Structure 1
Amino acid sequence: MLFIIAVAKNKPEVGGNVASMPNLLGSLNCKVEKKARETRTKKQLHKPEEVPTCQESIHRQLSMVDVLQKIGISRHFASEIKSILDFTYSYWLRRDEIMLDVETCAMAFRTLRMNGYNVSADGLSHISTDLSDTRSLLELYKASQVSTSDDELILDIIGSWSGHLLRQQLKSSEAQRTPLLREVEHVLDSPFYTMLDRLEHKRNIEQFDIIEHPILQLTSQTNQDLLALGVMDFSTSQSIYQQEYQHLDSWVRESRLNRLPFARQKLAYFYLSAASTMFPLELSEARILWAKNGALTTVVDDFFDVGGSKDELENLTALVEMWEQQEETEYYSEQVEIVFSAIYISVNELGSKASIVQGRDVTGHLVEIWQELLRNMMTEVEWRTGGYVPTLDEYIENAVVTFALGPIVLPALYFVGPKITESMVIDPEYSELFRLMSTCGQWRI
């Protein structure tokens, strides 16, 4: 069973000002109600009895954003969240006095940086806190984990002492595991960069006491609606992912890849890696492409390593090189036919879909990626059969391609973000990023 929840990709630009900030929480609450209880009368679920201070308002808004992200339903509130973050960023840039509140400052730093805003850790350098204030210490510790370079000494120092103090609090409070202390324990044991977001969402839905944040003062009905929406999204996405996997499983059988005795069947592995990272429901084509090409590259790798004779491998390589001259196709064996047909049909099908998304023909680029892969794999075969021992530089240069991330990662880029122009594809930076990615992957296994 895959535990995945979808999120949104669009973030409309919306302005914000001090006077409007208290109403944003009401807007969020209304949206929760609309999504989870569309048949009920639309009304604002919560409106503070007293107008909060600006610092309290920003803290409350960021806390709500945090809750929505924790249970995986922030995609329903993209415009409101963008407005809150823009408003918070404007205060961050002004070094406004509201940022002297430790918890607000740390939460703002983490949330802004995690959402792509350019914020410096220097903003955390002059804060002071009550060393027994668990919430502030926890926010400081979480903020310290979003370092973007090796020389952010401020974050290293904050992470070290806040983590130490939090561990001391856990030791002295073993008998009373409150929701807050359980959250502290989880954050210390499982840094966010080691966890899949979808699994975190599942955990937070199951342990919904994360919503117990005093400053939010959410109504019981709002809590129920938030939970209902989280569960609904989780269930819907589960159904979609299972349908996609069933489609892929049928594709393996129709392509006869399951008949190849030498081939590892890695479809589930590749689909899970796609669904756990490219989780928005609208990225279906990217997930399918990733999984198909992952399964195909595994089959091709096994064919070159153990399954095919040199004649078969030369035949397959030649067929891929002669992509446009299929009337001259001659298969050395049934194995070659199965492997080549699966590559040819899948690349053309996915290339057509990617071309529609990009507004230009990109199938040729996908073909070139496969051609380069097979050429380099054939080079390794020639080294092996000829008894040639390559230099380390020769091996690494060739292995960057034969690690086979090219057909998996590069075509998926056409489905996951802004349009990619031909000039971007031929830019040296594009090739260098791919080289670095493949080098890191190669040496990690």
Structure 2
Amino acid sequence: MVASSSPANIDKSIPSNEYLLEMNIKKVKNILIANRDDRFESLKMIDDIQGLGIDLHFQHEIDQTLDMIYKECSQFYRYYGRDPHEAALCFRLLRQEGHSVQESFFGNILDKEGKFEDNLQNDVKGLVELYEASELGVEGEETLDSVRKFTFNRLIELCSGRESHQEREIMTSLMQPRHKTSRRLTSKRFITMIKIAGQEDEWLQSLLRVAEIDSIMLKSLIQEEMTRTFKWWTELGLEKELLKARNQPLKWYTWSMEILQDPTLSEQRLDLTKTISLIYVIDDIFDVYGELEELAIFTQVIERWDLERLEKLPRYMKVCFEALKMITTEISMKVCKSHGWDPTDSLRKSWASLFKAFLVEAKWFTSGYLPDTEEYMKNGVVSSGVHLVMLHVYFLLGKELTRDKVKLIESNPMLVYY
């Protein structure tokens, strides 16, 4: 007799992934909280959690721990100035979470002449962490600029003569700084490192189980969302109308997946993917398809939502407009239902701004005009589409929707530049 494969025959004594995940998350949280009195240990734990890309499960505990460290160490270089690795890690984690940490801290690892201490020259861990910290510098921070140049050059020198895996780790840190790299793309490397380093460490083993189970569950969610994205794109029909336009639904979804990483934001990710896809397609219409006169009329249609002028345009522009209209309406209805705010006018204005920026670039290209850097950047912060995406994310998340904040974000694309 062949055993049935019905759900009734599933062994219920085997814990589900959800149960195992919650159990190990709880264990990690308890260990993280228990170690708060040891600041450096807490920082290393937070760094491991973030490196594995699972910080969403521990955000409350991470925020509490970093807030506590920041309050206790408002002059934290007095506490962490002894060790460059420790100090740089503290600086990086606090600054990337938005705490106001000044570059003057790094003066403690310089000698009286403003040069780096000799004992730092061969400290690979310290050099790598200092380089990572320097990547969070902003314009005008000369000390961080010096730290970046020194650590980069010294690490390149130290690569020669080292074993291949050590050289590879150093070069990976230099080419892919943590602050500028997707955590999901680097999590596999950190899993491997933890497997090697933490075979007998209960904390690291629990952390590893969270990362592995989370990865399995996340993979299933991503596959489902990708399937829905490809289905939507195919049914939309723009790929048939615009054969020369980019046809990259996977790329467009990847942008949304990185911007909105919380697994519970599935619908918001899919809606944002639709917006991003249209930015790319419309950009191709302005760059590849449209004549300047047609593009000017197309822009006027979007500015005024003028259906009469739409009739003067070629079919592919009409189809594109209908897709834009449908997506904007869908998103506006969802935001209104979920958050009690109708973003239709704001979204239409933002699309109009994007079209006008694309039209400016089309006119430049047609006339052979070469703008200076300032003129190009002023238009580019709009034509990049980042401001439009940021506006959609703001409405899709629905947090702190007030008239003043909506007015600020919809009217000030230079926020992207700064």
Shared fold, TM over 0.5: yes
| Alpha-carbon displacement from aligned partner over 1:189-222 (angstroms, at most 9, x marks no partner) | 433344322211232124434755xxxxx84444
| Alpha-carbon displacement from aligned partner over 1:246-268 (angstroms, at most 9, x marks no partner) | 22222222222122134332322
Partner of 1:101: 82
Inter-partner Cα distance in structure 1 for 2:355 and 2:29? 60
Partner of 1:198: 184
CA 1:285–1:152: 2 relative to 1, 3 Å: farther
Inter-partner Cα distance in structure 2 for 1:311 and 1:168? 57
Inter-partner Cα distance in structure 2 for 1:403 and 1:126? 40
Q: In the alignment, residue 86 of structure 2 is paired with which amino acid? A: T
Q: Structure 1 residue 419: deviation in Å? A: 2.9
Point out the more displaced range, 101-110 or 282-291: 282-291
> Are positions 1:367 and 2:348 aligned together?
yes
How many pairs were matched up? 388
Q: In the alignment, residue 197 of structure 1 is paired with which amino acid? A: R
Partner of 1:149: 139
> Are positions 1:290 and 2:298 aligned together?
no
Secondary structure (helix, strand or coil) at the match of 1:290 reads: helix
Partner of 1:226: 207
| Alpha-carbon displacement from aligned partner over 1:374-401 (angstroms, at most 9, x marks no partner) | 45656777898xx866684898576665
The answer to which structure, 1 or 2, has the higher relative contact order (CA under 8 A, 6+ apart) is 1
Partner of 1:443: none
Point out the more displaced range, 159-168 or 245-254: 159-168
> Are positions 1:351 and 2:337 aligned together?
no
Residue 369 of structure 1 contacts residue 407 of structure 1 at CA under 8 Å; is this kept in 2?
A: yes
Percent identity reads 26
Inter-partner Cα distance in structure 1 for 2:27 and 2:407? 53
> Are positions 1:254 and 2:235 aligned together?
yes
Partner of 2:220: 239
Q: 1:188 is matched with which residue: 157, 167, 174?
A: 174
Inter-partner Cα distance in structure 1 for 2:119 and 2:361? 62
Partner of 1:340: 321
Residue 51 of structure 2 contacts residue 186 of structure 2 at CA under 8 Å; is this kept in 1?
A: yes
> Are positions 1:274 and 2:256 aligned together?
yes
Residue 238 of structure 2 contacts residue 320 of structure 2 at CA under 8 Å; is this kept in 1?
A: yes
Partner of 1:10: none
Contiguous gaps of at least 5 residues in structure 2 = 1-16, 110-116
Partner of 1:174: 163
Q: In the alignment, residue 142 of structure 1 is paired with which amino acid? A: E
Secondary structure (helix, strand or coil) at the match of 2:108 reads: coil
Q: Structure 1 residue 322: deviation in Å? A: 5.5
Residue 274 of structure 1 contacts residue 287 of structure 1 at CA under 8 Å; is this kept in 2?
A: yes
Residue 304 of structure 1 contacts residue 377 of structure 1 at CA under 8 Å; is this kept in 2?
A: yes
CA 1:327–1:85: 2 relative to 1, 3 Å: same
Residue 124 of structure 2 contacts residue 155 of structure 2 at CA under 8 Å; is this kept in 1?
A: yes
Secondary structure (helix, strand or coil) at the match of 2:412 reads: helix
Q: 1:412 is matched with which residue: 390, 393, 401?
A: 393
Q: Structure 1 residue 58: deviation in Å? A: 1.2
Inter-partner Cα distance in structure 1 for 2:269 and 2:410? 25
- Structure 2 length-normalised TM: 0.74
Partner of 2:4: none
Contiguous gaps of at least 5 residues in structure 1 = 1-32, 213-217, 438-445
Q: Structure 1 residue 408: deviation in Å? A: 3.7
Residue 35 of structure 1 contacts residue 229 of structure 1 at CA under 8 Å; is this kept in 2?
A: no
Residue 304 of structure 1 contacts residue 313 of structure 1 at CA under 8 Å; is this kept in 2?
A: yes
Partner of 1:139: 129
Inter-partner Cα distance in structure 2 for 1:275 and 1:62? 27
Q: In the alignment, residue 134 of structure 2 is paired with which amino acid? A: S
CA 1:365–1:60: 2 relative to 1, 3 Å: same
- Structure 1 length-normalised TM: 0.70
Residue 46 of structure 1 contacts residue 219 of structure 1 at CA under 8 Å; is this kept in 2?
A: no
Q: Structure 1 residue 142: deviation in Å? A: 3.0
> Are positions 1:60 and 2:26 aligned together?
no
Inter-partner Cα distance in structure 2 for 1:389 and 1:189? 36
Residue 298 of structure 2 contacts residue 310 of structure 2 at CA under 8 Å; is this kept in 1?
A: no
Q: Structure 1 residue 319: deviation in Å? A: 5.0
Q: Structure 1 residue 359: deviation in Å? A: 3.2
Point out the more displaced range, 393-402 or 351-360: 393-402
| Alpha-carbon displacement from aligned partner over 1:141-166 (angstroms, at most 9, x marks no partner) | 4333332333332x344444445554
Residue 383 of structure 1 contacts residue 390 of structure 1 at CA under 8 Å; is this kept in 2?
A: yes
Inter-partner Cα distance in structure 2 for 1:308 and 1:52? 62
Inter-partner Cα distance in structure 1 for 2:59 and 2:36? 24
CA 1:221–1:344: 2 relative to 1, 3 Å: same
Residue 391 of structure 2 contacts residue 409 of structure 2 at CA under 8 Å; is this kept in 1?
A: no
Secondary structure (helix, strand or coil) at the match of 2:67 reads: helix
Q: Structure 1 residue 423: deviation in Å? A: 2.9
Q: In the alignment, residue 174 of structure 1 is paired with which amino acid? A: E
Partner of 2:14: none
Inter-partner Cα distance in structure 1 for 2:152 and 2:368? 50
CA 1:389–1:125: 2 relative to 1, 3 Å: closer
